[in-house]
Amino acid sequence: MQLKRILVAVAGTSVDPDVIRLAVSLAKPAKAEIMAVHVIEVRWNLPLDAVLEPELDHGEELLANAAKVAEQAGLRIETELLQAREAAAAIIDTARERAADLVMLGMPYRTRLGRVHVGKTVQNVYVGAPCAVLAYRQEAPQ
């Protein structure tokens, strides 16, 4: 597969830097571009374009950190901050709009009832994304 544009969803979990580094390692040989996206999920009782100061601050910080990690790994990346009712739908729409060839998501190692838990955003992006999806699950703690 010839990669041209990779979209990385940054959720603010401990696995984010690993996903960014992995994306850089995939993008560099293919000379592909990377775009990091963070989606602020807006509750239904608020307008979609509500100014959510703490979430905006946090989102911007996450994206700045992602850009820093990518730069340390040797690539400048584009970042985008979005507000949506559901993160998965916004990620899928952005992937389609920007013609991404690959969407990458990180999954922190979490278990529920003894099984690894896959969050709804990862599940929905897996199902709905028009392009390839790569979900990176954090290794299990020793």
Partner 1 sequence: MRDEGPPREPEMPSLEKREWHAGRKPGDRSVRIVRPGASMFRRADGQYIATEQVLEPTGPYGRAWARVRRALVGRPLELGAEEGQRVSPLTGLAVLAPSNVSSSAYATEEMMRALAFGGFAALVLAPPLALAVVAVLALIVVSESRVIRAYPNGGGSYLVARTDLGIGPGLIAAAALLVDYILTVAVSAAAGVIAISSVLPHLAEQRVAIGVGLVALVALTHIRGVREAGLLFAGPTYTYIAAIVALIGVGLARVMSGDVPAAALPQGGAVTPGLEAVGILLLVRAFSAGAVALTGSEAAANVVPAFKAPQERNATVTLVLMTGSLAVMFLGLTFLAVRIGVVPDPAEVESVNSMLARSVFGDGSLGHLVVQLTTAVFLLIAANTGFSGFPRLAAVLANDRFMPRHFADMGSRLSHSFGIIALAVIAGLVIVVFGGSVSALVPLYTIAVFLSFLLSQTGMLRRTLRGRERARPVWLALHALGAAIMAGLVLAIAITRIQQAWFALLLIPLLVGLLYSVRRHYRDVEDALTLPGPAAAIPRLQPPVVIVPVGRLDRAAIQALAFARSISGTVKAVHISTSRETGAEFGRRWARLVPDIPIDLIDSPYRSLLAPLLKYIDAIDKSDDRPITVVIAEFVPRHWWEWLLHSQTATRLKAALLFRPNTIVIDVPYHFEDTADLARRR
The answer to whether the CB of 23 falls within 8 A of the CB of 104 is yes
Cβ nearer to partner 1, comparing 94 with 135: 94
Cβ nearer to partner 1, comparing 12 with 26: 12
Cβ nearer to partner 1, comparing 30 with 81: 81
The answer to whether the CB of 106 falls within 8 A of the CB of 15 is yes
The nearest distance, CB 89 to partner 1, in angstroms, is: 4
The nearest distance, CB 57 to partner 1, in angstroms, is: 5
DSSP secondary structure, 32-86, as one string = -EEEEEEEEEPPTTS-TT---HHHHHHHHHHHHHHHHHHHHHT---EEEEEEES-
The nearest distance, CB 92 to partner 1, in angstroms, is: 8
The nearest distance, CB 39 to partner 1, in angstroms, is: 8
Cβ nearer to partner 1, comparing 15 with 95: 95
DSSP 31: T
**Site of interaction with partner 1 (CB under 8 A):** 39, 44-49, 53, 56-57, 60-61, 64, 79-86, 89-90, 92-94, 96-97
Rounded Cα–Cα distance for residues 105 and 136 (Å): 6
